[in-house]
Amino acid sequence: MLVDEQVTMFLYIISHHLKNRVTKHHFNRSGETVSRSFYNVLNIFIRLQDVLFKKAVPITTNSIVPKWK
């Protein structure tokens, strides 16, 4: 299976909160293939989380921005 189809399947499951059974019928793949592809892409996202996601900066108590007071 191509990488773009795996990523599409992953985003489809995440965005619509679908089960494996629904996804396998939509993409015409076996349940094992859907599950394996989902966890492959999930592991990539976990490994790249430092690159993909911005770290939250805590707001200090002496912040001068009126929005955070």
Rounded to the nearest 10 degrees, the angle between the axes of helix 31-47 and helix 20-27 is 110
Number of structural domains found in the chain: 1
Q: What is the pLDDT of residue 59?
A: 77
pLDDT digits (tens, 9 = 90+) for 6-35: 999 999 999 999 999 999 999 999 999 999
pLDDT digits (tens, 9 = 90+) for 42-53: 999 999 999 988
Asked if residue 61 is part of any domain, the answer here is no
Q: What is the pLDDT of residue 39?
A: 97
Asked if residue 66 is part of any domain, the answer here is no
Asked if residue 34 is part of any domain, the answer here is yes
Confidence band for 69, pLDDT divided at 50, 70 and 90: low
Asked if residue 48 is part of any domain, the answer here is yes
Q: What is the pLDDT of residue 56?
A: 84
Q: Which domain holds residue 14?
A: 3-52
Asked if residue 63 is part of any domain, the answer here is no
User: Are 42 and 28 in contact, with CB atoms under 8 Å apart?
Assistant: no
Asked if residue 64 is part of any domain, the answer here is no
Asked if residue 69 is part of any domain, the answer here is no
Question: Average of pLDDT values for 60-66?
Answer: 76
Asked if residue 60 is part of any domain, the answer here is no
